[in-house]
Amino acid sequence: MTSPMVRVRDLHKSYGAVPVLRGVDLDVGAGEVTCVIGPSGSGKSTLLRCLNHLEKINAGEVEVAGELIGYRRHKGKLHELGPRAITRQRAAIGMVFQNFNLFPHLTVLENIAEAPIAVLRRSRTDAVARARELVRRVGLAGREDDYPRRLSGGQQQRIAIARALAMDPKLMLFDEPTSALDPELVGDVLGVMKDLADGGMTMVVVTHEMGFAREAADTVVFLDEGVVVESGAPDDVLRNPRQARTREFLARVL
């Protein structure tokens, strides 16, 4: 593997008394794409959220770009980053959700330029110029001044990707980015993601799109009941799974 962008060791996360992640290991090299698959409730979203400081972990080690996110020895105490470091790290990790979450009262360009201006202190001129370039990159030139409600779900999701890219992230996390879309809109969003992958972006993608996983992923991870049951090259995991639980899951979704 190239230098690690994400390194997770023995990650445990519970909500109250309910364990959700029960000792997860994950390695994603710089420039690699990892697709996480698994049944509903298996902990996929929670895993992404632990990479992005949206959840506090209970135990284990999580590093992004060589920096510790949370760490605890079994008998030791929890070591954590301070709030400034957390803000800085979160700014370097882009996240795209199932439901786009664009700001409804801002135009496409304003949605994209907002965080670079507010968080990165870019000048408005620079942020808007970059936003225009990103709108082109996701295939939506001409829609810069539209409000999100004028766009289809697939177009909104492409703008959400552009908005994340505007922060120059080191890592992009996608949580079922096409699950809320009408089937005919899925392809354009996956196309943008494939371009991003081909351009060398490090990505962790939770998805049920097995075609995308097969084409774009370096590694496929099958998560079930909070543990990594199986991981490896897409051809191995998707075509030739070793574990019965993986085979059963694939038989249901393929």
Residue 14: CB atoms within 10 Å: 15
- Residue 87: which residues within 8 A CB-CB, separation 6 or more? none
CB of 179 to Mg ion, least distance (A): 9
Taking the least distance from each CB to ligand ADP, the nearer of 42 and 107 is 42
Taking the least distance from each CB to Mg ion, the nearer of 131 and 173 is 173
**Rule CB under 5 A: is residue 45 a binding residue for Mg ion?**
yes
User: Given the structure tokens 């009262």, which residue do they identify?
Assistant: 105
CB of 119 to ligand ADP, least distance (A): 25
Stretch that binds ligand ADP, among 40-48, 86-94, 130-138, 208-216 (CB under 6 A): 40-48
**Rule CB under 6 A: is residue 43 a binding residue for ligand ADP?**
yes
- Residue 177: which residues within 8 A CB-CB, separation 6 or more? 96, 97, 98, 157, 161, 189, 193, 205, 207
Stretch that binds ligand ADP, among 34-42, 77-85, 133-141, 187-195 (CB under 6 A): 34-42
Stretch that binds ligand ADP, among 35-43, 88-96, 104-112, 207-215 (CB under 6 A): 35-43
DSSP state of 159: H
Specify whether the CB–CB gap between 177 and 167 falls below 8 A: no
Specify whether the CB–CB gap between 157 and 181 falls below 8 A: yes
Specify whether the CB–CB gap between 160 and 97 falls below 8 A: yes
Task: Kindly report the backbone phi and psi dihedral angles of residue 67, in degrees, each rounded to the nearest multiple of 5, phi listed first.
Answer: -110, 135
Per DSSP, the three-state class of 194 is helix
**Rule CB under 6 A: is residue 241 a binding residue for ligand ADP?**
no
Residue 115: CB atoms within 10 Å: 16
CB of 182 to ligand ADP, least distance (A): 21
Partner interacting with residue 20 (select from Mg ion, ligand ADP, none; CB below 5-8 Å by kind): ligand ADP
CB of 75 to Mg ion, least distance (A): 32
Query: What mask, x for binding Mg ion by CB under 5 A, covers residues 168 to 207?
Result: ----------------------------------------
Binding site for Mg ion (CB under 5 A): 44-45
